[in-house]
Amino acid sequence: MTAGERVFSVVRGRLYERLPALALPLGRLPCREADVTPAGTDGRAALFAPGFLEREFLTGSELPERLTLHLLLHLMLGHPHSRRGREKALWDTACDLAVLLVRHALLPQERESPAAFSARCKLQAKKTGRAEDIYALLQAEPELLTPDERQSAALDDHSQWETMRAAERLPVTGEGDETGFQALGRLLPQPLPEKPAIGTGTGGAVFSIKPDLRESAPFAAVLRELSETRENRHVSGEEFQYAWYLYGLEHCGGMPLIEPLEYSEERRLRELAVVIDTSASCSRSLCAGFLGELAGLLDRENLFFERFNLHVIECDCEVQQDTRLTTLDELSGWLQSMTLHGGGGTDFRPAFRYIDGLIEAGEFAHLQGILYFTDGYGVFPDAPPAYRAIFVMLQYRYEDIDLPPWAEKLVLEAEKPKGDEAWI
């Protein structure tokens, strides 16, 4: 066994640990040195430039692991032998972008470059995941992706693909050739949700939410922590002295000597930002659970001041909608006729950037924290925000997801809907 083969064995072992479902195709993937830059495939093996694996391994680079998975996904998706007269450069781009989508489905917590993230969100919004569909989309809408976004998924050398122009003429051995790898493509997750998504990037589905009136003590406690104490304008019966009031009515010709106070010191919410994850991974019932919990609490007395500043932000991989509510009447009306927008990938960073922009613009003056309703799978900001960030999840969809040290987690009790979840 050569030094490169030993390194490749270690790389495959690391991928086994991260992706046990791909153990069979990984075990069938051999490696060889070839004239590629820096890696490629001939449809049967992973090809690497001479000395590449050893050099990268000694530097501690993750590139061999990324390239190995990238090449394996090309083989399992049947890309090397499926061009069939399509323009080569555009087909290469479409194949790399298709691998990007599947890789994200396999490793949703893996960090992406800004260009890769943007490209993935645009393709998911178009409901396009297969290389053939991406190719047709880029032909029809050549301006959809910027040059950086088109190149964001390009890792390998496709020059060896040209030796396989007709897959139907290749012998089927089932052991390491491209037909055998493609047969194992059933092990891969779907790059896009199989069920209808919440909506499109600009559209949405309309449905009403019935507030959940059950007491949620942890949720209420968090909201109280985000509140502040200040004067609230209303008649304060607690501080009103009835003796002087009645004395004036009796002895001063019906003139009360003291009027009730028209304000009191109270602790309530003044400003709050609520972000709802409307990505394709969140079903209608999950969003309904989020909003039901929220509506049940916000509709109770003594939670908000008479006028408040509440922003309800809908976000998948970008901010889709921001609804500003200032009174309980506005909140009640919105809950009865809301429209949710989304259906793309999941990224928490755009919502934080948007809220930071609201603070800079003076829209929030005393924001104590935000509530982020989500299933937990997404890309987190690298740096903590200047306010508390509380990620709220429902128990039946909760998994022990690693959160950044600055992020707080609140898991609410919720029953799983009976039968299949209804998607928006």
Q: Is the same domain home to 151 and 279?
A: no
Per-residue pLDDT of the chain (424 residues; tens, 9 = 90+): 789 999 999 999 999 888 888 988 999 999 999 999 999 998 889 999 999 999 999 999 999 999 999 999 999 999 998 888 899 999 999 999 999 999 988 887 677 787 887 788 788 878 889 999 999 999 999 999 999 999 999 999 999 887 655 444 444 443 334 456 877 777 787 776 444 333 334 334 444 445 444 445 566 677 767 766 555 555 455 555 556 566 666 777 766 655 555 555 565 677 889 998 887 666 555 666 666 666 666 655 456 656 778 898 988 888 888 989 887 778 777 777 767 777 777 789 999 999 999 999 888 988 888 989 887 778 888 889 999 998 888 765 555 567 788 888 887 765 555 544 443 3
Q: Which residue among 127, 160, 187 closes a domain?
A: 187
Please report the pLDDT score of residue 351 as a whole number: 93
Are the beta carbons of 10 and 25 closer than 8 angstroms? no
- 237 domain residue, yes or no: no
Please report the pLDDT score of residue 286 as a whole number: 63
Please report the pLDDT score of residue 138 as a whole number: 95
Into how many domains does the chain fold?
2
Q: Is the same domain home to 214 and 362?
A: yes
Q: What is the CATH number of the domain that holds 378?
A: 3.40.50.410
Q: Is the same domain home to 214 and 149?
A: no
Phi, psi of 276 (to 5 degrees): -110, 125
- Which positions ≥6 away from 47 have C-beta within 8 Å? 31, 32, 33, 34, 36, 39, 40, 41, 160
- The partner residues of 274 in beta bridges, in order of sequence, read 312, 371
Range of the domain at 173: 3-187
What does DSSP say about strands 263-277 and 228-233: parallel, antiparallel, or unpaired? antiparallel
- 393 domain residue, yes or no: yes
Q: Which pTM does this prediction carry?
A: 0.52
- 46 domain residue, yes or no: yes
What does DSSP say about strands 39-41 and 46-48: parallel, antiparallel, or unpaired? antiparallel
SS3 label, residue 183: helix
Please report the pLDDT score of residue 176 as a whole number: 39
Please report the pLDDT score of residue 205 as a whole number: 42
Q: Is the same domain home to 384 and 303?
A: yes
Q: What is the DSSP letter of 347?
A: B
Q: Is the same domain home to 118 and 180?
A: yes
- Which positions ≥6 away from 123 have C-beta within 8 Å? 97, 101, 129, 134, 137
Structure tokens at 248: 């004036």
Q: Is the same domain home to 140 and 208?
A: no
Q: Is the same domain home to 36 and 133?
A: yes
- 236 domain residue, yes or no: no
Please report the pLDDT score of residue 137 as a whole number: 95
- Which positions ≥6 away from 360 have C-beta within 8 Å? none
- 298 domain residue, yes or no: yes
Q: Is the same domain home to 159 and 130?
A: yes
